[in-house]
Amino acid sequence: MKITVNLFANLRDYAPAGQRPAEVSLPGGATAADLLSALRIPPAVQAVLLVNGRRAEAAALLADGDEVTLFPPMEGG
């Protein structure tokens, strides 16, 4: 299945070949955690994770066509 990934700020470094947004192919049944490892984002790197605009946990199951957004926690506003 194909997942669209938006990476921001310093997480942008993990975009495959600098794609924007990135397209990642994953086997059916993959989770957000699988996506993070496919992108080689180390577990120690903190990230806010959204699937289709809703907050999700790393264990969340992904579906074909999902849009995932990842950005570092930030103090902002």
Cα torsion 13, 16, 19, 23 to 10°: value is: -130
Say if CB 68 and CB 3 are below 8 A apart.
Answer: yes
Q: Which of 18, 27, 28, 55 binds another protein (CB under 8 A)?
A: 55
Contact 22, 5 (CB under 8 A): yes
38: contact with another protein by CB under 8 A: no
Q: Is 48 in the site for another protein (CB under 8 A)?
A: yes
| Min separation Cβ 47 and another protein, Å | 8
**Contact positions toward another protein, by CB under 8 A?**
6, 8-10, 45-48, 50, 52-55, 69, 71-77
